[in-house]
Each structure stands twice: as C-alpha cells, then as structure tokens.
Amino acid sequence: MDRTESLLTTPASPPDDTATAPASGPPAAAGAPPARAASAHPDGDPAARRDPRWVRPALAVLLLGTGLLYLWGLGESGWANSFYSAAVQAGSESWKAFFYGSSDAANSITVDKTPAALWLMALSVRIFGLNSWAILVPQALLGVASVGVLYATVRRWYGPAAGLIAGTVLALTPVATLMFRFNNPDALLVLLLVCGAYATVRAVETASTRWIVLVGVLVGFGFLTKMLQAFLVVPVFAGVYLLAAPTGFWRRIRQLLLAGLGLVVAAGWWVATVELVPASARPYIGGSQQNSILELTLGYNGLGRITGDEEGSVGGGARMGGGGGPFSGQTGWLRMFDTEVGGQISWLLPAALILLVAGLVLAGRAARTDRRRAGLLLWGGWLLVTGLIFSFMSGIFHAYYTVALAPAVGALVGIGTVLLWRERRAAAGPVTPVTGPAVPAGPIAAPGVDAGTAPGGAPATASATGGRRSRRWQGWFATGTLAGTLAVTAWWSWRLLGRSADFQPWLRPAVLVAGLAVAVLILLTRRLPRRLVPVVLVLGASAALAGPAAYAAQTAGTPHTGSIPSAGPNVQGGFGPGRGGPGGRMGDGMEFPGGGGFPGGGRFPAGNGDGGTGQNGQPPGFPGGTGQNGGPGQNGGTGQDGGRTGGGQGRMAGGMGGLLDSREPSAALKALLTADADDYTWMAATVGSNNASGYQLATGRPVMAIGGFNGSDPSPTLARFQEYVAAGKIHYFVGGGGFRANGGSSASQEIATWVAENFTAQTVDGVTVYDLTSAGQEAQG
C-alpha cells in the first residue's frame, strides 16, 4: 500500500485508559464504572507509541504552519478592536479594572462581556508592555492550541489521519484565521469548547466522573468568556454522555448533575461577586440599563440575541419588523450560506453535513456505547444546534460569530472522510464469518483490520454471503458519497469564489474542474493503478481546500480593525475586508434601525455640530458631530460622504463616528489632552466606548466612555456627570461618537447638550473639545 493512501486507513490505537475487563470475567455491578486493565506501556501513552512514524512530523507541520499563518504580520492590525484593547490597557494598570473588565483604569464602566478573554491579554501586556503584539499574540497561540486539541480529540477515536484533516480544516477556515488574529473573545471561547469536547470524549470512554465534571468547568469558563453562547453546546455534550457512557443510567444522571454543579461554580463565582459588590464600589456594567450583570446575561447578551429585543442595542430584528438588524443580515435556513456569511465559514459546511448523515447511516443500529456514532453525534450536534441558532436569531449577529462552527466542521470532515474511505477499502476484501465473544468497544479501527470485530466493537456474525453483499453495498455507498461530497464542495467553492470575481480569477475554474475530475476518479479508484490513488487523494484534498486556503491567506495578509471584522476579499453586496478596517465598506442598501442612529434621532445627526438646537425641528446632534445629509458640521465636522464625524479619523465604515472603530488623535490634540492629565481622574470624557478607546490608547490615560459601547447606557447620568465635573475629576469633553437605537438611555445626549450649553468649545484639527474646568457661554463655531 502506498504511504499517502495508508494515511486514511491507519486505525486509531486504543488509549491506555479504555481497556475493559475480559468478556469471560464476572459482570460488573449495575452502574459501576468499567474495570481498567493494566497499561501495556505503563511508562508512556501506548496510543502515541503505536502511531506510524509519519504522524508526529505531520502534526508538527500542521501546528507550525498554523502558527505561521496566525502570527505572520500580526502587528499590522494595530489595536484591532480598540474597544477591547482599551480594556486590556486598563486591566494592565489596575487590578480592579482587570477583574471587572473595565474600559478605563479609573473604572467608570465595563465592556459588555464577561472578562476572561481580557485577562489573558492584560497579563501579556503587564509582562511585555502595551503594544499590538502583546495583545494579539496570545490570541494566535489560542488558535494553534485549538487546532492541536481538535486533532487530539478526533484522533483519539478515529485515528491520526482524521485528526490531521480536522485540524487542517479548522486552521484554514477563513473566519478562524480572522478571529485567531484578532482580539475579540471568540478565540478563547473556541479553545475552551474544543477542550470541553475532548473532556467529553475522555469521559465517555470510561464513564469518568472526573472528566465529565471537567466538561462543566470548561464550559463555565466559556461563559466567563462570552456569556450564554458557551452554553449552546451543553445539551450536546450532556446528551452524548447520557447516551454513550458505559455505565448505568442513574449513575450517568448523577454524574451529569455533578458536571452541572461544576459549570455553575465555574461560571457563577464571578457573577455572584459582581452582584454582591455594591454598585458604588464597582464600575457600571456596560450593556445593561439597570447596572446588573444578570440583566446583561439574560437580556442584551442572552435571550435578546434570540428575539431581537435588546434595549439599547444598535441592531436587532424584533423592533425592526423582521430580519437581523443592520449588521446581522437576514435570518433563515440559508443564513450560513448567504453573501455576508458564506465566505467566512461555509466552504466545507455542505461536506460536513453530507458526511454526518453518511456516517450515521453506516453506524446503523449500533450498540448504545458505539463510539463511531457517539463522535458523530457530538460534532454533528455541536454544528446543528449552534448553526441553527445563528441562522434564526433575530438580535445582533455578526458573521465572525461563525468561528464557533469551525471545529465541528473540521471534525466532521475529518471523521467522515476517513470512515468512508475505510468502508470503501474494506468492501474490496473478503468478509470471513467469525463467531465468539465481542471485542471490547474501543477507538474506531479500519473495517476489515480485525476480521472478528465490526466497527465500534460489535462482533461480526453475518454469513459469508450476506456479509459480502452488505460490504459491497457499503463500499459503493461510501465511494459514491465521497465522490458526491467532493463534487458538491468544488461546486460550492466555485460559487463562493464567484462572489469576489476580482480575487484570483484563475482559481475559480481550477477548483471546479479539478474537483469534478477527481470526483469521477474516486468512482474509478478500483480500476486505477494503485500508485495513482495517492495522487487522486492529494488532488481531491487540494480542490476541497484551495478556496478556503486562499481566503485564509488573504485574511492573514490584510490588516483588520474595528468592531465588525470580516475575512476574505470584498464580496458583492457584502462588507469589505476588515469591515471597519482598511477597505471596509457598508453593505449595499443597508439602513439603520428606526431611521437613524446617533443620540438625538435622524438618519444622521441633524444638529449644528455642537449639541445645540437642531435644524428643521430635529433634535440636536453631538458636539463636533456631522451636519445633516452629509453637510459640514459647524465646528469642522465633515459630512457623510467624507466618512468622518467631527473631523475625527474614523471612516464611515471604519469609524461610524466612533461607533465601530476608534479615532487616532492628532499630535496637537494629544498634547492638549495630556497636559496636566495626572491631576484628573479622567483625562477626558466622550460619548461611546470606541470613541473613548482611541484617545485612551494613544495617551495611556483614562477616558470616560459615556453611555458605553453604543452611547445608550445610563452611565453616568447627567446629575452624576455634573458631580464629577464639579469635583474636578474630568478635564475635557471631546465631541463626537455614540449611536443609539432600540431605546436605551438618553443620558449621553443630555450630557452632550449640557456641555455645549455651559462650556466653551475649541476646535483642534477638526475635533471639538470642551474644557470642563472653566465654564463659559454657549459654544461658538
């Protein structure tokens, strides 16, 4: 057998902790865990020792290649998502800000997520100093670790070839390349959930209480990373363990209850601490309207994401008459394949679904503890539950959320490909009837390797004629499914590449022709010379992975900034690369909820640019804001087409007046803001967290983010802000920023108006600034 072909037929070796008592021994008591046999290699892992020699070099190439892809040119993205970078900077200076995830070191307000992902980056910044690499390298390493753990998880039951395929698919998924090079919480969430899947596999093997409790703990820490999204896999992990663990039913129930307790403790200790600490002794909980982490968990970041009822959010569907909001796309069965999302995750999604169904068909009516079926249900359940919720959630949804699907897609492609290839090969050989005791269920071996054992450990008791007929049918089924899956994958890659016709135009026909040609050759592999089969396999893998690999390489070579990044090149009707970074643009036909956005109403602020009286009866705009219909603001703010708000540096797609990206202050503005900054608790205050983050990161001084991310949180109230000003805690108010829709507090608008009416404005490089230490007449332009 040629080495390349043998990669797909090498079975997994039984790990040292899955051996059971001999079949001839006394039966185990009901509900008791299976007995363990002594390890054949007590001084090491026998599974690793039995791997072919090519496995470790191949794994090393995979991990090193992933590291290179995720680390190359990483610093070009600068602060990436400045919203989180500012919180990392704050946490590196204040342990209180570190614990709560505050946006500034003076602890005025937190980010709108739980802070676990910030902790890793803040520790890195404490060690290496504040810079782009210190923030982003931990994210890249989380990606390499995710690929490694996914490999280990899939390999354990299905062999090293399946693990390597799964890891490669994850590494080359464009949205994974994006998010493991970015500083959003999704990178840590993916690693924790993949580790949870590994712990589930270990727990199922021996009905281990220790491992299933660890699953709960890992998911609990996933909650501390991105709140309720981590819980989407809970019913899947619990259901697979309840189905397949080799122990009694009530013991499985008790173990799952203990796992639930572990989840509650791991997720709840931080929540309980925040709820018990008086509001006056901690920062305001960003994203909530009542300063409550429970409200944030269940509302804005919880059920509100499903229903669209997210008070104070920018997007959402329930109050918009359907759809998913301005940054969310349309809900429905095909959302994962649409223009905005398809190029991020769906390259191998059809293949994963086809192979899931085929694998379950081959598993047939296997025993309850059959691992082949358990693994398919584990990863298939992850993909279906998470994917369907993403498809139909009416609240805020961004395409990069789909990185949570990438491990499941990779696992199913790896598992399904290897299982079908083994079935195809096994069907070519004779089936010898064997009777006798069943071999204990272990990791999936290649069918036909052990003539007395069917996949999953069931004894082969069929007659020679019936077994041969069954094997022949399974062989043709496996061969046809593999060929069809590759053909569908090539066709879908051709469709996706067509959405960005200017991107590597030669690749589109090459993928289609190669994929369809190899699909035909797969059907004919029994007639081909054996030496050509490895060539067919390599060409098939290249055709399937060429599209996502090209998108992943383009993503790695493009700087990404802002709050809504996007992988890959520009697509028709979608967002451009970075989606808030260089080249980003708003989607065609996009409209904002309720006809407008910035506090004060209107499609864009229709004020005099200072927060004073609006034009045509409209409410006022922000200090330094844009003029109506793209006209210039009174204090130098340019219009809509200019893409700047109040003369700041953010573009329309990248800045949105400070909504989706930060501003880089000029040298003159920076010098003004930092003068005597150490004499104040907050160097400055401005509306919106992203607006504040640019000034804070540029100066290293705390900047109060009025109203939180959207400018719609009641933090602080006007009365509280006036107290801060009277106490001399805030030096400047910087105009611009903020965006309000779906209700929320009007405190930021009230503060902006009060400042404009009571303090003198000055314009520095197009940005309006108010000195809060000296009252004056209403601002003049």
β-partners of residue 617 are none
**Helix crossing, 464-498 with 507-523: angle to 10°?**
170
- Cβ atoms of 586 and 326 within 8 Å: the answer is no
What pLDDT was estimated at residue 475?
83
What pLDDT was estimated at residue 574?
59
Residue located via tokens 């993403």: 390
CA distances for 637 relative to 219, 602, 615, angstroms: 47, 17, 16
Nearest to 158 by CA among 33, 11, 278, 305: 11
**Helix crossing, 160-172 with 533-556: angle to 10°?**
30
CA dist 331 and 318 (Å) reads 12
Q: Which helix (H) or strand (E) holds 582?
A: none
What pLDDT was estimated at residue 533?
86
CA dist 385 and 778 (Å) reads 56
Nearest to 419 by CA among 439, 438, 445, 396: 445
Tokens for 663?
Answer: 């501003």
What pLDDT was estimated at residue 126?
97
Please write down the HEC assignment for all residues of 163-215.
HHHHHHHHHHCHHHHHHCCCCCCHHHHHHHHHHHHHHHHHHHHHCCHHHHHHH
For residue 594, the SS3 value is helix
What pLDDT was estimated at residue 598?
36
What pLDDT was estimated at residue 10?
58
- Cβ atoms of 659 and 741 within 8 Å: the answer is no
- 474 phi and psi angles, rounded to 5 deg: -65, -35
- Cβ atoms of 512 and 483 within 8 Å: the answer is no
What pLDDT was estimated at residue 586?
36
Q: What is the CA radius of gyration of the chain?
A: 29
- 734 phi and psi angles, rounded to 5 deg: -105, 130
What are the residue ranges in the chain where pLDDT is below 70?
1-49, 310-329, 426-469, 573-661, 737-743, 775-781
**507 exposed, middle or buried (CB, 10 Å; 0-12, 13-18, 19+)?**
middle
- Cβ atoms of 447 and 454 within 8 Å: the answer is yes
CA dist 747 and 706 (Å) reads 8
Q: pTM, whole model, 2 decimals?
A: 0.83
Q: How many other β-carbons are positioned within 10 Å of the β-carbon of residue 561?
A: 26
- Cβ atoms of 459 and 439 within 8 Å: the answer is yes
For residue 581, the SS3 value is coil
CA dist 46 and 51 (Å) reads 9
Tens-place pLDDT, residues 752-766: 999 999 999 999 999
CA dist 641 and 629 (Å) reads 9
- Neighbour-count burial for 375-403, b at 16+ CB within 10 Å, e otherwise: bbbbbbbbbbbbbebbbebbbbbbbbbbb
What is the four-CA torsion angle of 96, 98, 100, 104, rounded to 10 degrees?
Answer: 80
β-partners of residue 770 are 733, 761
CA distances for 258 relative to 29, 234, 261, 269, 608, angstroms: 21, 14, 5, 16, 61
